[in-house]
Structure 1
């Protein structure tokens, strides 16, 4: 079973990483990779939003849609 979280209208798959003791999220449907980590739902939402914004900023800087 996969856990899915929506962040700024973008889907992310969430899994628990027992080695790190953190949840890991990875956005799907983007033209590149953007992942994030958090120890709670609030942290995942915050870190996911920041990761997505960074990804979008880099795409814009490089002329990638």
Structure 2
């Protein structure tokens, strides 16, 4: 899956064989923002247009646009799993945070 960026906003891009268009959707906000394009250039242009329209609608309605995710994640674990994860991280000479970020990134790439 490909991604596009517009400032700090990230969109995942897929191909829709039914419409023969590329479809993008912003993935790092709660609002639903999507767009289509037949070419890469058109897709990028439609992404920018969708974002600017979203910002305009927010201004008109007096609401703040969703901010892209902060990068902070809070995960609840059992104490035993927490212990095992710390041990796995330490065995590689890393902090739990650094190790977990690396493992999660690899999971997304596969």
- TM bracket, shorter-chain basis: 0.7 to 0.9
CA contact 1:4–1:12 (8 Å) conserved in 2: yes
User: With structure 1 as the length reference, what TM-score do the two structures score?
Assistant: 0.88
Q: Are residues 1:7 and 2:6 paired?
A: yes
CA–CA distance in structure 1, aligned partners of residues 61 and 29 of structure 2: 15
Deviation at 1:47, TM superposition (A): 0.5
User: With structure 2 as the length reference, what TM-score do the two structures score?
Assistant: 0.54
The Cα RMSD (Å) is 1.1
Work out the number of aligned pairs and report it.
64
| Structure having the larger proportion of residues in helix | 2
| Structure having the larger proportion of residues in strand | 1
Alpha-carbon deviations, 1:13-62, whole Å to 9, x = none?
A: 10000000000000122231111100111101101000110011111111
* Stretches of 4+ aligned residues off by more than 2 angstroms: none
Match of residue 32 from structure 2: 33
- Structure 1, gaps ≥5 residues long: none
